Amino acid sequence: MVKFETLNELCLKVTNQGGGDFIYTKAGAFIGGECFGGKNYTFTKVMLGPQENQNIGQALLGQLARRMTGENLPLMKAEFSGDSITYYANDQQHVVVYQLAPNETISVESENILAFTRECKYGVRFLGQGVVSQKGLATSTLTGQGPNSYVAVLVDGNPLVISNIQNGSTLEADPDAVVCWIGADPGMRTDISWRNFIGQSSGESYMFEWSPQQPATVIIQPSERTSGVDVSMDGSVSGSRPSTQRRLY
């Protein structure tokens, strides 16, 4: 049995008791480990994704879907044959751990997945959006299928967590800053006007939106991916952020 914990905000601690269990992690994320006795864990590259242990046909279709949607993720399989503690991290990003209830699903950008247990069912879901954002067309999903369904996600900086489950509010979030959500899928709200076509966009031309009828908890990072479409006369990208100006000395 394995257990996920966040250690020092930037590291995932995986405690394993007994043998015969395994987890999936981002390839190359292992940074250290300790065993009670000799080394009792191994790492193997996953060629066709998490489905390769279930059905080769599903694994091939899943691999194709991930490549077509940009949700492909290089994974490795960490297998445990005894009591051990292993540690994982990625480029000093913050780590958030969530334990999924049975049949609960987390929708997460593939690049933000650090690790998940074997009791999580992995898939890719199309949202039917993505017209003006690289991150609106498809998302990776992990669904809990047992009491030990842990997921660890990566966040650039300290995470912001917003939710409308208790208060019934309307949530909005920049798709390029959204890390993951648990609950209903969002709608897409666009705000494109004549200003976008003359290069005077506010930089906030599209948003994910969760209405009060779409209860969800959303994790957002204080860092935005580069995306958007070129619709302006000056060649700027609608929805993109102005770059930081370099100071000349």
pLDDT by residue, tens only, the chain of 249 residues? 899 999 999 999 999 999 899 999 999 999 999 998 889 999 998 866 665 555 555 544 555 554 544 446 788 999 999 999 999 999 999 999 999 999 999 999 888 999 999 999 988 877 654 444 444 456 889 999 999 999 999 999 999 999 999 999 999 998 889 999 999 999 887 765 444 444 444 445 678 999 999 999 999 999 887 654 433 333 344 444 444 433 333
Domain range spanning residue 126? 2-238
Domain membership flag for residue 78: yes
Domain membership flag for residue 215: yes
The residue count of the chain comes to: 249
Q: Are strands 94-100 and 206-210 parallel, antiparallel or unpaired?
A: unpaired
pTM to 2 decimal places = 0.78
How many structural domains are present in the chain? Answer: 1
Domain membership flag for residue 80: yes
CATH code, domain with 173? 3.60.160.10
**pLDDT of amino acid 74:** 83
**pLDDT of amino acid 137:** 58
Task: List, as one string, the DSSP characters of 194-241.
Answer: HHHHTT---S--EEEEE-TTS-EEEEE-S------EE-STT-PEETPP
Domain membership flag for residue 243: no
d(CA 82, CA 60): 32
HSE toward the beta carbon, residue 239, CA cutoff 13 A: 28
* Cβ proximity of 133 and 41 under 8 Å: no
**Backbone torsions φ then ψ of 112, nearest 5 degrees:** -95, 5
